[in-house]
Amino acid sequence: MLIGRRTLLQVACIAVAGATTMTVARAEDTVKIGLIVPMTGGQASTGKQIDNAVKLYMKQNGATVAGKKIEVILKDDAAVPDNTKRLAQELIVNDKVSVIAGFGITPAALAAAPLATQAKVPEVVMAAGTSIITERSPYIARTSFTLPQSSTVIGDWAAKNGIKKVVTLTSDYAPGNDALAAFKERFTAGGGQIVEEVKVPLANPDFAPFLQRAKDSKPDAMFVFVPAGQGGNFMKQFAERGLDKSGIKVIGPGDVMDDDLLNSMGDAAIGVVTAHIYSAAHPSEKNKAFVAAYKKDFGQRPGFMAVGGYDGIHLIYEALKKTGGKADGDSLIAAMKGMAWESPRGPISIDPDTRDIVQNVYIRKVEKVDGELYNVEFDKVDAVKDPGKTKK
């Protein structure tokens, strides 16, 4: 009986050890990505675009890379930085993710940065656009944009195209400050004048009183930065206040004319000129295929947040291919540096020194095409690095 019990105990121990080994092996064969985006709240359209684009990319390219199964764990932070930090910690500690990604707004991306550094987990920023983000951790890479990239381009364009006096209206947080500083520097250097600077709250802004102030200043144009998702409300109030009939042009980085919301803005948006990194009307074959596939799966056109998500998951896939499936943070971030590819937006690369995106910036005008509103590109500046870093 004693021998029988001992034999059974040995068999049980072997079985447990075998099961543990299989579990570890399965875990090692899976690369988990924590996708932290706002799926609810004022920035919900950003999160939904990114989530949709990640799903589309994985549908097109499969869920296995370099012998590893890719598992995406979606978390809604509602664009609240305290939520972002908590969710990032849970994903890193409990779920053992190899990458955290998404980040709809700058405060969210910054909240996660120390965790990325401590855990040596890459943070792929697919949305947030403040210049300093990639400087906050050596493990951050970005596939979205920076506000200075587009704001410098529209500043130069405005100064060269008969716009002399401008009122600025920007959201009162880091990206708005980046956009304002970059535009102001280039516009005034070209001979333009800022007659008034207006800052509006990030959360639930009522633009009406600020728009009235702008109207009273009688500028040639308003330079506007509001985050993706708020452009529709801005243009609605712009029209309600009669500014669309006042001769005051709207210019700015392209966030205010997000493709995701453009059709709902009505004819008040026609003629708005912005500089940005993506339009659903971009004429490349790759973009036409991307737009068609996105529309088929989700019933609407993609915006610039979608392309940030699409390129972000592409960067992770390609980094894993380059490392042969090694998913430690140092290997992945090293693989991401200097990577270049053809995106639906055009040629892009990851600057090996800053881990920030290098891309074309297009100047576009809102036009009606086949009954729909589109940002139609008419000029571009090639391979723009982040001006916030090129000065340093």
Annotated domain spans of the chain: 30-145+284-355, 148-276+361-384
CA distances from residue 255 to 73, 201, 213, 306 in whole angstroms, order as listed: 27, 16, 22, 13
Length of the chain measured in residues: 392
Amino acid 386: pLDDT:
97
Q: Quick one: pLDDT at residue 340?
A: 98
CATH number for the domain whose boundaries are 30-145+284-355: 3.40.50.2300
Q: What would the pLDDT profile of 59-83 be if each residue is shown by its tens digit? A: 999 999 999 999 999 999 999 999 9
What is the pLDDT, as a whole number, of residue 202?
Answer: 85
What's the pLDDT at 3? Answer: 46
pLDDT of the residue at 42: 82
Hey, do 30-145+284-355 and 148-276+361-384 end up sharing a CATH topology, with the first three levels equal?
A: yes
DSSP codes, 284-352: -HHHHHHHHHHHHHHSS---HHHHHHHHHHHHHHHHHHHHTT---HHHHHHHHTT-EEEETTEEEEE-T
Query: What CATH architecture does domain 148-276+361-384 belong to?
Result: 3-Layer(aba) Sandwich (3.40)
Residue type, 84: T
pLDDT tens, 11-47?
444 444 444 433 443 456 999 999 999 999 988 989 9
pTM for the full model?
Answer: 0.90
What is the per-residue pLDDT for 204? 79
Element holding 68 (H helix, E strand): strand 68-76
d(CA 145, CA 133): 11
**pLDDT for position 27:** 53
Q: What does the pLDDT read at residue 17?
A: 44
Q: Tell me the mean pLDDT per 10 residues along the chain, length 392.
A: 48 45 55 98 92 98 97 97 98 98 96 98 97 97 97 98 96 94 97 95 87 90 90 91 90 93 90 97 98 97 96 98 98 98 98 98 97 97 92 64
Give dist(CA 314, CA 341) in Å, integer.
9
